[in-house]
Amino acid sequence: MGAKLTIGVVAKRLGIRPSAVRFYERQGLVASERLANGYRTYDRDVVNVLSFISRAKALGFSLEEVREILAVRRTGTEPCARVTKMIDRNLAGIDQRIAELSALRRQLRALAKSPVRGQRTEAICPIIESD
């Protein structure tokens, strides 16, 4: 099987903190073995798994989606068809969020041009409270 890696070596190779490695271990995404002294050791493939997790997270995949992808892969099946469905769903969510943010931008721009500035009223802030 080859030499095991310590948590410090794994973290250094990936440019992450050991606490991140422990987090993903607690989440069940990677596994370690304990030495008699209590130190964690990892198989070399954990570097590939953690690298995959990092890339997937950077692309906006949730931890649950990453868990699902890894579970499929660990059965020996290619997860790409499932990943494609996830991508389509995530793109739809992004498109919806962009539409919401565009609407918010229009509202804020309209408020910024609001003529109620400087007027004394009972409102806390007429700019925000105006329709």
Tell me the C-alpha distance between 80 and 83, whole Å. Answer: 5
* Residue 118, pLDDT score: 60
Q: What is the average per-residue pLDDT within 59-88? A: 96
Token pair listed for 104: 């918010």
**Tens-digit pLDDT profile for residues 51-67:** 999 999 999 999 999 99
* Residue 86, pLDDT score: 97
- Average pLDDT of the chain, as a whole number: 91
**Tens-digit pLDDT profile for residues 94-119:** 999 999 999 999 999 988 887 766 66
- Burial bucket for residue 3 (CB in 10 Å: 0-12, 13-18, 19+): exposed
* Residue 82, pLDDT score: 95
The domain 1-60 having CATH identifier 3.40.50.2000: the answer here is no
Domain chopping of the chain, boundaries: 1-60
pLDDT class of 128 with cuts at 50, 70, 90: confident
pLDDT class of 26 with cuts at 50, 70, 90: very high
Whether 2 shows a pLDDT value over 90: the answer reads no
Whether 126 shows a pLDDT value over 80: the answer reads no
